[in-house]
Amino acid sequence: MTPTGPAPRLRPATPADEGFLLALTDRLAEFEAPPWRTATEIRGADHRILREALRQPTDDVSVTLVEDPPGTPAGYFFCTTRRDYFTAEPVAHVEVLVVRRGAQGRGLGRVLMDAAEVWARGRGIRQMSLNVFAANTRARELYRHLGYREETVHYLKRLDPR
Ligand SMILES: CC(C)(COP(=O)(O)OP(=O)(O)OC[C@H]1O[C@@H](n2cnc3c(N)ncnc32)[C@H](O)[C@@H]1OP(=O)(O)O)[C@@H](O)C(=O)NCCC(=O)NCCS
């Protein structure tokens, strides 16, 4: 899965990239979602914080785009800084990771996750976290290969109206 040709290029996203970034979030619903979640909910959830991050960048957030080949946007990660629930230590939380469909499988997911770790380390952060739907096997496989391990299991029960 090593990319061929010129090496992919990483760069911070700018407000001019907003259309590309928001369109790509459609991909976040491309797996068999639980019956109680709609694709609109899934892909829409990150739009607000992503827009805010682009328009009002701060040090504790990174929206980084990968271009492959250089000049052609192919994917991005969006990382925020949270606090570990148990220790209150800072944690870099991967809110979004997405690669354009036609650019999948050539190592860009890994390139982006490595870059997210570099960003976190550069800020003195020693933990990464993320959430992934249980059915998103492809993404889960990537995270497993990169050394991520499951921690808590999120349960949800819908209550019928009485
Ligand atoms: C998940 C995603 C970011 C992976 O990006 P990618 O560029 O294809 O990933 P890579 O090419 O770097 O592959 C990395 C790992 O993914 C896994 N992978 C790649 N292709 C795969 C496939 N066809 N089936 C299953 N796993 C696969 C492998 O474990 C691979 O590890 P390896 O390099 O040791 O073989 C991309 O598929 C995507 O954008 N999916 C839709 C959005 C999404 O679900 N994001 C995650 C939300 S939590």
Give tens-digit pLDDT for 14-66. 999 999 999 998 898 888 888 888 888 887 888 888 999 999 999 999 999 99
Span 128-157, pLDDT tens digits: 999 999 999 999 999 999 999 999 999 999
Note whether 68 and 74 are within 8 A (CB): yes
pLDDT at 86 exceeding the cut of 90: yes
For residue 77, give Cα distances in angstroms to 88, 111, 123, 129, 158: 23, 10, 16, 13, 31
Q: Is 61 helix (H, G, I), strand (E, B) or coil?
A: strand
Q: Which atom of ligand 1 is nearest to the CA of 130?
A: 48
By alpha-carbon position, which residue is closest to atom 12 of ligand 1? 107
Q: Which of 65, 99, 113, 143 to mutate to test the pocket of ligand 1 (most atoms within 8 A of CB)?
A: 99
Please state the pTM of the whole predicted model. Answer: 0.92
pLDDT for res 4: 65
Q: Does the beta carbon of 51 sit less than 6 angstroms from any atom of ligand 1?
A: no
Note whether 54 and 94 are within 8 A (CB): no
Phi-psi domain of 131 (left: phi exceeds 0; alpha: psi -120 through 50; beta: other): beta
pLDDT for res 43: 79
By alpha-carbon position, which residue is closest to atom 43 of ligand 1? 28
Ligand 1 geometric centre to CA of 157 (Å): 29
